[in-house]
Amino acid sequence: MKLLRYGPQGQEKPGCLDDEGRVRDLSGHVADIAGAALLPDEMARLMALDINSLPVVPGTPQEDLRLGPCVGQTGKFICIGLNYADHAAESGLDVPPEPVIFNKWTSAIVGPDDDVMIPRGSSKTDWEVELGIVIGKGGVYIDEANAMDHVAGFCVINDVSEREYQIERAGTWDKGKGCDTFGPTGPWLVTPDEVGDFNALAMWLEVDGKRYQDGSTATMVYKVPHLISYCSQFMSLQPGDIISTGTPPGVGMGQKPPVYLAGGETMRLGIQGLGVQTQVVKKA
Ligand code: ZN
């Protein structure tokens, strides 16, 4: 099932995508794609619905019908750094001996096609296509063997990053990761049954039609179950939390010479089976 949230910013309603690419309204069955609605029993209830019996929402999603972030009320936006060997190399760093964890502030979360705003004073705003895990059932000290029981679904994330703020502004990385609009999330939350093998998903990112990132989750160093278990050693995970799992090579910082966003560009990015995002870059 592809769950989504549609409508104006801050007033999104729950919905899902049907086989014809139309949005169906889930308002009669769930208040929001958020919190307790992501627990396994609630997800099973939604997945048992006859989608074709639900009201059709007028408009074409991602064209004249805005989609919001595919999950609401996210409490924690956790990111994994340097989780692709080739990306670590282009960053001039070794693959870390255990996962690097950093944060994006939840105020960075926007819809998949909302504008990305370059922060004032920025000269090094960059992109990162990433596989996002959305937590369903919460937990702490989760065993790797049971980790997938805690996944509500997967989505596309653009881990937009300001490299000077991240690296050259007296630490920590978070300073360059959590700026407003730096976390486009969606278009849909795809349930694991529909994603299939999450270790073999093609992923890509283009700026103004030029493909910079062209990778696969196959080259992730630390895999999804390990990341869930690992994060849960340091914090409890709760429904609606997001873990963004790192980016493959091809970020702007890794180009020779480096390429950064100046405003006016269009970013397009996607992951196999999880949909496509499109963002226009503007100056804050
Ligand atoms: Zn990242």
The 10s digit of each residue's pLDDT in 90-103 is 888 889 999 999 99
Can you give the pLDDT at residue 86? 86
Task: Copy the structure tokens of residue 93.
Answer: 């760093």
DSSP for 154-218, please give it. EEEEE--EEHHHHHSSSS-GGGGT-STT-EEB-S-EE-HHHH--TTS-EEEEEETTEEEEEEEGG
Q: Is the per-residue pLDDT at 71 higher than 90? A: yes
Q: Is the per-residue pLDDT at 158 higher than 90? A: yes
Task: Copy the structure tokens of residue 216.
Answer: 């696969």
Give, in order, the Cα–Cα distances in Å from 283 to each of 131, 199, 263. 26, 36, 6
CA dihedral of 172, 174, 179, 180, whole degrees rounded to 10: -150
Q: What is the mean pLDDT of residues 209-230?
A: 97
Banded model confidence at residue 88, pLDDT cuts 50, 70, 90:
confident
Q: What CA–CA distance (Å, rounded) separates 71 from 155? A: 9
Can you give the pLDDT at residue 151? 98
pLDDT in tens, 101-141: 999 999 999 999 999 999 999 999 999 999 999 999 999 99
Banded model confidence at residue 39, pLDDT cuts 50, 70, 90:
very high
pLDDT in tens, 41-58: 999 999 999 999 999 999
Measured in Å, residue 259 CA sits from the centre of ligand 1 at 17
Can you give the pLDDT at residue 92? 87
Measured in Å, residue 49 CA sits from the centre of ligand 1 at 35
Measured in Å, residue 159 CA sits from the centre of ligand 1 at 5
Measured in Å, residue 246 CA sits from the centre of ligand 1 at 4
Q: What is the mean pLDDT of residues 140-150?
A: 98
118 and 284 in contact (C-beta within 8 Å)?
Answer: yes
Can you give the pLDDT at residue 283? 97
Contacts of 5 (CB under 8 A, 6+ apart): 12, 13, 14, 15, 32, 33, 67, 68, 69, 70, 71, 72, 186
Q: What is the mean pLDDT of residues 11-16?
A: 98
Side-chain-facing half-sphere of 270: CA atoms under 13 Å: 9
Q: What is the mean pLDDT of residues 170-199?
A: 97
Mean pLDDT of the chain: 97
Can you give the pLDDT at residue 87? 87
Can you give the pLDDT at residue 90? 85
Measured in Å, residue 19 CA sits from the centre of ligand 1 at 31
Q: What is the mean pLDDT of residues 245-264?
A: 97
Q: What is the mean pLDDT of residues 217-223?
A: 96
H or E stretch at 79: strand 77-81
Q: What is the mean pLDDT of residues 55-74?
A: 98
H or E stretch at 41: helix 40-47
Measured in Å, residue 10 CA sits from the centre of ligand 1 at 25
Banded model confidence at residue 21, pLDDT cuts 50, 70, 90:
very high
Task: Copy the structure tokens of residue 206.
Answer: 């283009």
Measured in Å, residue 22 CA sits from the centre of ligand 1 at 31
Can you give the pLDDT at residue 150? 98
Q: Is the per-residue pLDDT at 89 higher than 90? A: no
Q: What CA–CA distance (Å, rounded) separates 270 from 261? A: 19
Measured in Å, residue 273 CA sits from the centre of ligand 1 at 20
Q: What is the mean pLDDT of residues 209-229?
A: 97
| Amino acid in the structure at residue 175 | K
